[in-house]
């Protein structure tokens, strides 16, 4: 009974967190007309579709071992990350593993930087592209591909939420990451997986289950 109660309390806390987070998003970011339009368009697409379920079903069909891996950073926490890492309008951010694209739309419309967002789930990318086309958004590109197959030479900043990536994938990715640019990772530092990386800054931001460590890496 205690374990059931604990699970229920975790579920309840996460629901309260999400409600409070969406309230903050409305208050802080909906004054930006473009972001409001992007976010409402996303909510319309996913009103009766759960991104977690879409990701899980896609990975299950691919017979991947890890299928319960979809997640999104709260936008208020993403804003904190952007400030700490000094993401600016002249940056070109590559988001590797963008999911349905909410963070990418936020980075482009609120923070005004150029964004290239990559994910290998076609449903996410095709619908994000439709919103870009519908709203005629410039300097925002969505690519459907494996993140290891994307050229990163135009990036000034790489945002890698990828807490679900296996150690072998992280090592392979590290080998191809450009040097002397900002590389943001959550939960792990790249120097733990590949020689030649250093931590420029380390801090934590809130998430539904508590806090998560953020690392600003450089090669």
Domain locations in the chain? 2-218
pLDDT at 49 (0 to 100): 94
- Give the model's confidence band at 66: pLDDT under 50 very low, under 70 low, under 90 confident, else very high: low
Rounded to an integer, what distance in angstroms lies between the CA atom of residue 187 and that of residue 1?
32
**Cβ(70)–Cβ(100) under 8 Å?**
no
Is it the case that residue 100 has pLDDT exceeding 70?
yes
Instruction: Pull the structure tokens for residue 200.
Output: 């420029």
Q: Helix or strand or coil: residue 94?
A: strand
Nearest CA-CA partner of 42 in 122, 4, 99, 84: 99
pLDDT at 63 (0 to 100): 73
At the fourth CATH level, the homologous superfamily of domain 2-218 is Vaccinia Virus protein VP39 (3.40.50.150)
Instruction: Pull the structure tokens for residue 118.
Output: 């990559």
Which tens digit of pLDDT belongs to each residue from 155-203?
Answer: 999 999 876 677 888 899 999 999 999 999 999 999 999 999 999 999 9
Residue with tokens 């120097």: 191
E strand residue ranges, the chain: 92-96, 114-119, 140-144, 157-160, 182-186, 198-207, 210-218
Name 64's Cβ contacts closer than 8 Å, sequence gap at least 6. none
pTM over 0.75: yes
Q: Report phi then psi at 188, rounded to 5.
A: -145, 150
Is it the case that residue 67 has pLDDT exceeding 60?
no
**Cβ(127)–Cβ(45) under 8 Å?**
yes
**Cβ(124)–Cβ(54) under 8 Å?**
yes
Rounded to an integer, what distance in angstroms lies between the CA atom of residue 97 and that of residue 184?
13
Instruction: Pull the structure tokens for residue 95.
Output: 């988001």
């Amino acid at each position: 009974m205690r374990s059931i109660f604990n699970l229920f309390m975790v579920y309840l806390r996460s629901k309260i967190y999400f409600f409070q987070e969406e309230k903050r998003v409305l208050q802080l970011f909906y004054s930006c007309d473009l972001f409001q339009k992007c976010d409402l368009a996303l909510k319309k697409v996913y009103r009766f579709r759960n991104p977690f379920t879409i990701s899980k079903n896609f990975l299950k069909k691919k017979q991947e071992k890890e299928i319960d891996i979809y997640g999104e950073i709260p936008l208020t926490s993403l804003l904190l990350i952007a400030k700490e890492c000094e993401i600016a309008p002249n940056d070109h951010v590559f988001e590797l593993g963008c999911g349905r694209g909410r963070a990418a739309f936020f980075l482009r419309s609120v923070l005004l930087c150029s964004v290239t967002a990559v994910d290998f789930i076609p449903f996410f990318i095709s619908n994000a592209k439709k919103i870009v086309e519908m709203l005629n958004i410039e300097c925002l590109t969505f690519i459907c591909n494996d993140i290891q197959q994307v050229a990163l030479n135009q990036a000034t900043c790489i945002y890698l939420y990828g807490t679900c990536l296996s150690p072998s994938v992280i090592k392979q990715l590290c080998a191809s990451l450009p040097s002397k640019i900002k590389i943001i990772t959550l939960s792990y530092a790249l120097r733990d997986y590949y020689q030649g990386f250093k931590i420029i800054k380390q801090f934590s931001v809130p998430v539904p289950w508590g806090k998560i460590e953020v690392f600003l890496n450089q090669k």
